[in-house]
């Protein structure tokens, strides 16, 4: 766990470099404000006040109000809560499924492997977002379907990575040596496989959460995902688009929030992953 | 060699079947989930509430066989799908296939233009930064790529619209009447793809430049320009082309969202519209077409790769 | 005429100003043949790279390098590259990786001919054909590198490197990874270079190759010259202690095995009769009879790909014999057949400390930690080495650690698959002697697989040449 290995920020910075430090810093700020922010802001994200619609940022409404007079700060934070919690929840589900099935496929090989790989190929038959979109078509706005759809598309990468790496590791002479010496499967799992998978899985996780958040926003943007009056970033963009000329600062807010969140996730694992 | 191609054909064929099955099942489920009397709703959608009556609803019921057990309906549904009978739109008059044939042309225009834009941007930058690694240009484009990569396609599109259409008034916001309409959506998708592919190209050029065979080509006497042309670029092209294949998923996903943003009358736009209007036949038709295009493109790339790289045929 | 002269050459790390090797001085006349000999990992290849001007980034050289009397060490990279192919050329260490993976091998040679002699393609192809014919490569022109064997790839690289008729050929470890048959082929090619009037500079750790090449030799240790002179004189009566140790460690000069005394003559561990071995229903070996007793050593030799590893897998029981019988003594327990691996670094989990690994093994086999420390002391290893990861430990130390690790399981049989083929001559001898001593002390029967005929004959009690049992 490289993130927690060193306690002083300076040490950490030296170890992981500037861009990852920025990413982690930004990510911590986003997570902390998502957790405690709604209480600090104090406004109800759903409360309309048509007399005070489209206000510039002021002392009462830190980031202004939207076209229905709802507090922007409260809505953005509520959107962040929704995206992050759904993103993390789907990721945990996907990672658990993908990693365990990946190891099972690599370990047992033969038909188990063939079956699981075909299953993964089947999921890959449709681009991820399209699969979620089609699922969402049968019940637009359903939180559960969104969760299942996103998890279903995310697990494949965990599976493919884990399976492929584990196959290489298990074919390595050192594993043969450990088996020959009578060391347990637990030893092979924790000392041979996990240390080698760790960094790659971190990267896939960060990018996985990012693409989950993107998918949620994209579906919201085309009005197929989360439904109004819930506050969701993509949905807010669509709703605020008509007011661009009068209140440009409004539509920019969810865009900036989305981009910063994704950027911080990407940067926290080094910024680049060719997928 | 042929074994490999047949395996690819089988795998993609299976994927095509799965696409059809998923799309078929989901659209059937949508059908069953329609609230109230389905026949009534469909008839209302077709003829309008004013012009319909119980007789029209009954006609629809008979036509679609909506009074039978759901398993029989599912069987019929999938059978029609297997015969490529996509049915009629619930909302517009006319068969789904005809609609899709028109939309497909628009979608292909947009996708190919986007691909062209991405290649135009990514190859020069990738090759230059690969040949001059760790220079200022390399660092600049790395940061830029990371930044652009973090902006989802619809946010890129939205930003481009806000800047170029609304603010600078250079390009129209939406629609598809002229070449002008194509520029913003094509750039939106193209920039997004180039943000990653320029780094992939850079890495493959760099790897080729650091390879043993590059050095040996120089040592046996070939000058740097000739080595670059005859060996480095050829080898670097391989992972780059393969990567463009990987980006097909991004392209298809992007098309759906971007067409909607720019009101580009392609399949993606139609799909979102159909989901919104509960036009189930259209949802099924468009989703199926997009899915099959994706599988088909992957098959083309499989073939292309084993054609370019003789090694892949062996392993 | 002096073709190349090197004076006080050092190679150093630019940032840290640390010398990796030097001072090196020598001169090479036209038509002469010089071999630079030293242990692996001592940076011998850096000499070739410094002369070529192709040192990796971060490394620099100082000292004088004169080619035909003109200093080339301070020329711009571009001007140095202009000498390549024309005056200096090099035979790559990894021929497979040095050929363009996508291009047909004939084309890779023809393009050099075409460039140097401004031939048209037709003429260049003709030249290539003639060259391939001489090198026994007639059917190879249309093949791509992945379709070539190691020896073929090396000859294609040889053809490409010499297409420009350069006066100086640098050959860096030309016999690496080749078995004895291919070894002879490349040797005859190299020998032809000085006969043609060109010069050859060979860098190798292979004593037999150096001896066969003749000419002059330089012996390096820790990046410094310890001895130089006429090859045959130096190698037959070495003066420096390092050279003496090196020559003595070469298996071909090992003393023949003294009469063996086996403690328990009747204690048969494993025995085979008319054994037939193969994988995926394809047999490699047939009619093999052997017998291994406790405390005895058996060497199995043969060229690569003959099925040595499959034989070991059959003995350990991970693949079934295809025919004949293989009987293991009943008292041999599940963990009492242990293995030693060819490449020591790959035999340990790479990302955990050695201590972590040894803790698990001692716990499994109920050995006290102190007892392990005692074992380490016996093989002259410090306990602090266990704090490191395998990648920070040298190959020789790692191979000794893997003996120890195998001993923890108290084996009755030890299977060693080319355990020293990646080690230096001197380290190889130390390791093999240690292995023999430990096995005798613990009364372990050992089977050693090797491609080196001399080791097989002089190290083990019994020797089987698999060539005789080949299908």
Q: What is the CATH number of domain C265-469?
A: 3.40.50.300
The pLDDT of residue B34: 65
Taking the Cβ of residue A173 and every Cβ of chain C, the question of whether any pair is shorter than 8 Å is answered with: yes
The pLDDT of residue B50: 66
**Which residue in chain C is spatially nearest to A173 when comparing CA positions?**
C347
- Asked whether the beta carbons of residue C111 and residue B230 sit closer than 8 angstroms, the reply is yes
pLDDT tens-digit profile of C130-148? 888 888 888 888 888 888 8
Q: Radius of gyration over alpha carbons of chain A, in Å? A: 22
Chain C interface test: which of B1, B207, B210, B219 (most C C-beta within 10 Å) = B219
Q: Report how far residue C312's alpha carbon sits from residue B152's, in angstroms, rounded to the nearest whole number.
A: 56
Q: Among the residues of chain B, which ranges form H helices?
A: 2-33, 38-47, 54-64, 70-82, 96-131, 136-149, 153-160, 179-209, 212-219, 224-227, 233-246, 248-261, 267-277, 280-308, 310-314
Residue C180: pLDDT over 70? no
Q: Report how far residue A214's alpha carbon sits from residue A219's, in angstroms, rounded to the nearest whole number.
A: 9
**Which residue in chain A is spatially nearest to B35 when comparing CA positions?**
A139
Q: Report how far residue C3's alpha carbon sits from residue C25's, in angstroms, rounded to the nearest whole number.
A: 14
Q: Report how far residue A271's alpha carbon sits from residue A275's, in angstroms, rounded to the nearest whole number.
A: 12
- Contact indicator for B224, C80 with CB cutoff of 8 Å: no
Residues in chain A with pLDDT values less than 50: 1-6, 275
Name the residue among A224, A206, A212 with its Cα closest to residue A269.
Answer: A206
Q: Which residue in C84, C100, C163 is closest to B218 by CB distance?
A: C84
| Tokens (6 digits) for C426 | 């001197």
The pLDDT of residue C35: 92
- List per-residue pLDDT tens for chain B, 315 residues long: 577 788 888 888 888 888 888 888 887 777 777 665 666 666 666 666 666 677 777 777 777 666 666 677 777 767 777 776 666 666 666 777 778 888 888 888 899 999 999 999 999 999 999 999 888 999 899 989 988 888 888 888 888 888 887 777 777 766 666 777 888 889 999 999 999 899 999 999 999 999 989 999 999 888 888 899 889 998 888 888 888 888 888 888 888 888 888 888 888 888 888 887 777 778 888 888 888 888 888 888 888 777 777 665 443
What phi and psi values does residue A176 have, to the nearest 5 degrees?
-60, -45
The pLDDT of residue B282: 82
- C2-249 and C265-469 share one fold: yes
Domain ranges of chain C: 2-249, 265-469
Taking the Cβ of residue A129 and every Cβ of chain B, the question of whether any pair is shorter than 8 Å is answered with: yes
Chains that touch A (3 or more CB pairs under 8 A): B, C
Q: Which residue in A173, A183, A184 is closest to C346 by CB distance?
A: A173
The pLDDT of residue C259: 53
Q: Which residue in A19, A255, A272 is closest to B159 by CB distance?
A: A255
- Asked whether the beta carbons of residue C84 and residue B310 sit closer than 8 angstroms, the reply is no
SS3 B277: helix
Q: Which residue in A172, A180, A183 is closest to C360 by CB distance?
A: A183
The pLDDT of residue A79: 85
Provide the pLDDT confidence category of residue C264 given band limits of 50, 70 and 90: low
Domain ranges of chain B: 97-278+289-314
Q: DSSP label at A71?
A: B
The pLDDT of residue B45: 64
Domains of chain A: 8-268 (1.10.3720.10)
Cα torsion angle, A178, A181, A185, A187, sign: negative
CATH superfamily of the domain spanning C2-249: P-loop containing nucleotide triphosphate hydrolases (3.40.50.300)
Topology given in CATH for the domain delimited by B97-278+289-314: MetI-like fold (1.10.3720)
Distance from CA of B219 to the nearest CA of C (A): 5
- Contact indicator for B232, B208 with CB cutoff of 8 Å: yes
- Contact indicator for C126, B244 with CB cutoff of 8 Å: no
Q: Report how far residue A74's alpha carbon sits from residue C406's, in angstroms, rounded to the nearest whole number.
A: 65
Residue C421: pLDDT over 80? no
The pLDDT of residue A1: 36
The pLDDT of residue C146: 84
Chain B residues inside the 8 Å CB shell of C89? 219-221
| Tokens (6 digits) for C37 | 């000999």
Chain A residues inside the 8 Å CB shell of B291? 125-126, 130
Give the B:C interface size as CB pairs under 8 Å.
80
Q: Which residue in A177, A183, A196 is closest to C339 by CB distance?
A: A177
- Contact indicator for C455, C432 with CB cutoff of 8 Å: yes
Distance from CA of B219 to the nearest CA of A (A): 33
């Amino acid at each position: 766990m490289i993130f927690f290995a060193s306690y002083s920020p300076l040490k950490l910075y030296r170890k992981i470099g500037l861009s990852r430090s920025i990413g982690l810093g930004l990510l911590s700020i986003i997570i902390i404000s998502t957790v405690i922010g709604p209480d600090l802001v104090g406004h109800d994200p759903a409360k309309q006040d048509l007399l005070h619609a489209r206000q510039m940022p002021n002392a009462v409404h830190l980031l202004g109000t939207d076209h229905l007079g709802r507090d922007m700060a409260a809505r953005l934070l509520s959107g962040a809560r929704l995206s992050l919690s759904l993103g993390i929840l789907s990721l945990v589900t996907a990672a658990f499924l993908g990693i365990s099935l990946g190891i099972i496929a690599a370990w047992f090989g033969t038909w188990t492997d063939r079956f699981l790989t075909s299953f993964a190929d089947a999921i890959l038959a449709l681009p991820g977002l399209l699969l979620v979109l089609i699922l969402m078509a049968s019940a637009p706005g359903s939180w559960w379907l969104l969760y299942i759809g996103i998890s279903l598309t995310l697990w494949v990468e965990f599976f493919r990575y884990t399976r492929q790496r584990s196959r290489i590791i298990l074919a390595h002479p050192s594993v043969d040596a450990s088996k020959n010496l009578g060391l347990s499967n637990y030893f092979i799992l924790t000392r041979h496989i996990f240390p080698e998978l760790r960094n790659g899985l971190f990267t896939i996780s960060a990018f996985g959460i990012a693409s989950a958040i993107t998918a949620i926003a994209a579906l919201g943007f085309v009005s197929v995902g989360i439904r109004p009056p819930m506050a969701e970033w993509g949905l807010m963009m669509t709703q605020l688009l008509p007011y661009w000329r009068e209140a440009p600062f409004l539509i920019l807010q969810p865009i900036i929030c989305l981009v910063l969140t994704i950027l911080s996730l990407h940067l926290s694992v080094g910024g680049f992953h060719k997928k | 060699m042929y074994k490999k191609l047949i395996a690819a054909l089988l795998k993609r064929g299976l994927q095509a079947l799965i696409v059809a099955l998923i799309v078929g099942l989901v659209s059937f489920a949508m059908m069953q989930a329609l609230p109230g009397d389905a026949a009534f709703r469909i008839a209302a959608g077709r003829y309008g509430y004013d012009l319909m009556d119980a007789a029209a609803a009954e006609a629809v019921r008979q036509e679609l066989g909506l009074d039978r057990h759901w398993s029989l309906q599912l069987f019929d549904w999938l059978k029609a799908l297997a015969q490529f009978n996509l049915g009629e739109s619930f909302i517009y008059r006319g068969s789904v296939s005809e609609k899709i044939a028109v939309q497909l042309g628009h979608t292909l225009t947009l996708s190919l233009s986007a691909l062209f834009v991405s290649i135009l941007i990514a190859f020069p930058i990738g090759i230059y930064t690969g040949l001059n690694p760790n220079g200022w240009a390399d660092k600049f484009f790395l940061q830029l790529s990371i930044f652009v990569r973090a902006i989802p396609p619809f946010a890129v599109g939205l930003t481009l619209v806000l800047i170029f259409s609304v603010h600078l008034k250079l390009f129209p916001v939406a629609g598809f009447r002229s070449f002008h309409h194509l520029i913003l959506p094509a750039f939106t998708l193209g920039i997004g793809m180039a943000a990653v592919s320029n780094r992939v190209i850079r890495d493959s050029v760099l790897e080729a430049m650091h390879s043993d065979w590059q050095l040996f080509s120089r040592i046996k006497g070939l000058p740097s320009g000739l080595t670059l042309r005859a060996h480095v670029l050829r080898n670097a092209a391989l992972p780059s082309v393969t990567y463009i294949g990987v980006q097909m998923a991004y392209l298809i996903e992007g098309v759906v969202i971007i067409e909607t943003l720019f009101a580009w009358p392609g399949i993606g736009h139609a799909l979102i519209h159909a989901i919104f209007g509960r036009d189930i036949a259209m949802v099924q038709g468009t989703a199926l077409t997009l899915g099959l295009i994706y599988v088909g493109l992957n098959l083309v790339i499989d073939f292309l790769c084993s054609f370019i790289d003789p090694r892949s045929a062996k392993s | 005429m002096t073709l190349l002269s090197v004076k006080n050459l050092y190679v150093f790390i630019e940032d840290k100003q640390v010398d990796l090797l030097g001072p090196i001085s020598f001169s090479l006349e036209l038509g002469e043949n010089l071999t630079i000999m030293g242990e692996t990992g001592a940076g011998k290849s850096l000499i070739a790279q410094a002369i070529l001007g192709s040192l990796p980034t971060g490394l620099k050289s100082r000292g004088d390098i004169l080619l035909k009397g003109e200093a080339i060490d301070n020329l711009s990279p571009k001007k140095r590259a202009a000498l390549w192919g024309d005056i200096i050329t090099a035979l790559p260490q990894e021929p497979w990786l040095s050929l363009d993976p996508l291009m047909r091998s004939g084309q890779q040679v023809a393009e050099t001919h075409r460039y140097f002699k401004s031939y048209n393609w037709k003429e260049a192809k003709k030249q290539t054909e003639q060259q391939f014919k001489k090198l026994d490569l007639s059917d190879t022109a249309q093949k791509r590198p992945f379709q070539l064997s190691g020896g073929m790839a090396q000859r294609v690289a040889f053809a490409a490197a010499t297409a420009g008729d350069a006066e100086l050929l640098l050959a860096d470890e030309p016999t690496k990874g080749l078995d004895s048959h291919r070894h002879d082929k490349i040797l005859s090619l190299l020998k032809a270079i000085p006969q043609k009037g060109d010069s050859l500079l060979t860098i190798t750790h292979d004593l037999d190759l150096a001896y066969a090449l003749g000419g002059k030799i330089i012996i390096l240790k820790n990046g410094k010259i310890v001895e130089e002179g006429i090859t045959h004189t130096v190698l037959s009566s070495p003066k420096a202690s390092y050279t003496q140790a090196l020559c003595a460690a070469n298996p071909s000069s090992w003393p023949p095995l003294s009469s063996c005394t086996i403690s328990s003559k009747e204690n048969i561990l494993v025995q085979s009769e008319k054994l037939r071995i193969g994988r995926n229903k394809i047999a490699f070996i047939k009619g093999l009879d052997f017998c291994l007793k406790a405390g005895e050593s058996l060497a199995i030799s043969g060229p690569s790909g003959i099925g040595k590893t499959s034989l070991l897998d059959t003995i350990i029981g991970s693949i079934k014999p295809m025919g004949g019988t293989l009987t293991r003594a009943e008292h041999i327990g599940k963990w009492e057949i242990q293995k030693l691996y060819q490449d020591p670094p790959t035999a340990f989990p790479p990302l955990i400390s050695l201590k972590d690994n040894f803790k698990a093994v001692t716990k499994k086999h109920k050995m006290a930690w102190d007892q392990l420390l005692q074992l380490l002391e016996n093989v002259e290893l410090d306990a602090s080495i266990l704090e490191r990861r395998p990648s920070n430990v040298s190959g020789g130390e790692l191979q000794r650690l893997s003996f120890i690790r195998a001993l923890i399981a108290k084996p009755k049989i030890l299977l060693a698959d080319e355990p020293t083929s990646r080690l230096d001559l001197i380290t190889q001898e130390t390791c093999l002697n240690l292995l023999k001593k430990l096995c005798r002390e613990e009364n372990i029967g050992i089977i050693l697989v090797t491609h080196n005929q001399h080791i097989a004959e002089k190290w083990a009690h019994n020797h089987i040449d698999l060539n005789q049992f080949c299908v």
